[in-house]
Structure 1
């Protein structure tokens, strides 16, 4: 990988684990995936092997991929110290995340500690100074909603994310449980907390293919991520090309992102699953049939830089 490029003072850059780069340098981007992930909800399926992560990045690069945004947040086995070496070896830009997932992914003692010590402060520190002692700075804030609504935990984490955004300019990426409640998220982050809509990335909209809600979220100005096509047995994925096509036809092709969201070891290509390469080998060709070459190019190579770029504080 060539060293990170230098962006002009005051311009937006994407914060990768090897430094800040111009948005155009991302190249073909998997806008939501995981190299490392650990949760009590996925016993025995942890993504914690550096060798497997290296193999997956190499396979993604061979398929034409040049950047991966890892949405693994605080306390879920990010292994931030490993990410720079993996990025260099594979020739793939990697963006790390701060943030917090749903409460079910954490021991109660962990959440109690975070309430005591300040969540927004943690996010800001990991965005500007680094994750733990790794020196690796996060490039986005990942939080999560609930099923068809926002519980107290979601409101706490999203309010903290909004505070951290106002301090740093960082984009906020949101796990929508089964793709639901995107408008509630926008109400909280944008209407109540004054986060600009174009700094919000709504994830998993493929899991709830309500075309009217998709259009409302796009009209509000948010980025819409269709991230999880490796789950080929989900009926909602069969409708994903139609959902993307409807948004492109309505003039919102520049608000869309694609990601693989590989969350279990068995889903990795190096372990026999579809993995990260599936996004480029199978999903992208289907979308080209549905919407044409240019919209897919925009989704994979232009929109990620705009969505994840920020004017970071000195």
Structure 2
């Protein structure tokens, strides 16, 4: 039976409801000094606002060592009625100290991912539902190959999906060559994030054609080619037969971007992005992107 692993336990894919397929309730690292997402009250208010806008679930892509606050996630999910999926995984090397990376090498990265997917994150008992890793700008460095190799090992051991941060939307085909070619991860178990930040329709079509999922996320980032080009990109992919491979997410990464702090936040996905896409593409395709597709992308066969 296919299930999605949330912080409150496994649920059927259709129980996700309307899903924000890539976002963050908590996120902290030195590159975001002063803008960390570390306020549980604000996280609860943001989830409640998302719920009020019609949201049913959020997939948090915050990986190991970046302030996930896993123990708080079940409390927030229960309080707001929004399903939450947590992540294991590792971001780019720039987000960690050399000492912490050396310790992870000694302890075994794949073993950490498997433990957090099967036993739980730290002492929280919360099990992750996906592995998040990251590529570089038009390249895969040694750190990327190490983390993706560990992610592939964890996938083969657990069936968990792998979500990939593409730096400025680049490197999608290199990632697929590594994960799905060399490391033999089935393409439909890979979610590629941020492709909308590099509006290369040829690459997007090739990536979708592989069988991977494409997340159009971060719609609040006006300095990237997001909102204004999204209808054309999604329409082109749907016309090419890839409508079932598309996801939508908010990717709120700073405190100032939360709706409760004056930014667009999670509700923006449903308040502005959804109706804009519905006008351009029709309600059926957008509903597919927000409901059925996330259930398939993040569901795994229970083992």
Tell me which interval the TM-score lies in, with the shorter structure as reference length.
over 0.9
Is the Cα contact below 8 Å between 2:196 and 2:225 reproduced in 1?
no
The answer for the alignment partner of 1:125 in structure 2 is 115
Find the residue that maps to 1:310 and give its secondary structure.
strand
Find the residue that maps to 1:146 and give its secondary structure.
coil
The ranges of structure 1 where at least 4 consecutive aligned residues each deviate by more than 6 angstroms after the TM superposition are none
How well do the aligned residues superpose, as a CA RMSD in angstroms?
Answer: 0.7
CA distance in 1, matches of 2:224, 2:123: 40
The answer for the alignment partner of 1:16 in structure 2 is 6
Is the Cα contact below 8 Å between 2:219 and 2:226 reproduced in 1?
no
CA distance in 2, matches of 1:15, 1:196: 19
Kindly state the Cα deviation for residue 238 of structure 1 after the two structures are TM-superposed.
Answer: 1.5
CA distance in 1, matches of 2:286, 2:242: 12
Spell out, residue by residue over 1:110-151, the C-alpha distance to the aligned partner (whole angstroms, 9 max, x if none): 000000110000000000000000000000000000000100
The answer for the alignment partner of 1:4 in structure 2 is none
The answer for the alignment partner of 2:234 in structure 1 is 244
Find the residue that maps to 1:238 and give its secondary structure.
coil
What does residue range 276-291 of structure 1 map to in structure 2 within 5 Å?
276-291=266-281
CA distance in 2, matches of 1:268, 1:296: 23
Find the residue that maps to 1:202 and give its secondary structure.
strand
The answer for the alignment partner of 1:8 in structure 2 is none
Q: Which runs of 5+ in 2 are unaligned?
A: none
Residue 177 in structure 1 maps to residue 167 in structure 2: yes
The answer for the alignment partner of 1:98 in structure 2 is 88
Kindly state the Cα deviation for residue 232 of structure 1 after the two structures are TM-superposed.
Answer: 2.9
Kindly state the Cα deviation for residue 240 of structure 1 after the two structures are TM-superposed.
Answer: 1.3
Is the Cα contact below 8 Å between 1:37 and 1:76 reproduced in 2?
yes
TM-score normalised according to structure 2 size: 0.99
Residue 219 in structure 1 maps to residue 234 in structure 2: no
Find the residue that maps to 1:141 and give its secondary structure.
strand
CA distance in 1, matches of 2:207, 2:99: 35
Is the Cα contact below 8 Å between 2:22 and 2:251 reproduced in 1?
yes
Residue 74 in structure 1 maps to residue 64 in structure 2: yes
Q: Which runs of 5+ in 1 are unaligned?
A: 1-10
Select which of 182, 191, 211 maps to 1:192. 182
Residue 208 in structure 1 maps to residue 179 in structure 2: no
CA distance in 2, matches of 1:84, 1:236: 31
Kindly state the Cα deviation for residue 202 of structure 1 after the two structures are TM-superposed.
Answer: 0.2
CA distance in 2, matches of 1:108, 1:306: 36
CA distance in 1, matches of 2:270, 2:227: 15
CA distance in 1, matches of 2:225, 2:181: 33
**Worse-superposed segment, 239-248 or 26-35:** 239-248
CA distance in 1, matches of 2:302, 2:244: 23
Find the residue that maps to 2:2 and give its secondary structure.
coil
What does residue range 229-268 of structure 1 map to in structure 2 within 5 Å?
229-268=219-258
Is the Cα contact below 8 Å between 1:218 and 1:224 reproduced in 2?
yes
Is the Cα contact below 8 Å between 2:19 and 2:57 reproduced in 1?
yes
Spell out, residue by residue over 1:200-235, the C-alpha distance to the aligned partner (whole angstroms, 9 max, x if none): 000001100100000001110000000100113434
**Worse-superposed segment, 253-262 or 239-248:** 239-248
Find the residue that maps to 1:13 and give its secondary structure.
strand
Tell me how many residue pairs correspond in the alignment: 303
Find the residue that maps to 2:32 and give its secondary structure.
coil
Kindly state the Cα deviation for residue 66 of structure 1 after the two structures are TM-superposed.
Answer: 0.3
What does residue range 140-159 of structure 1 map to in structure 2 within 5 Å?
140-159=130-149
Select which of 158, 162, 165 maps to 2:152. 162
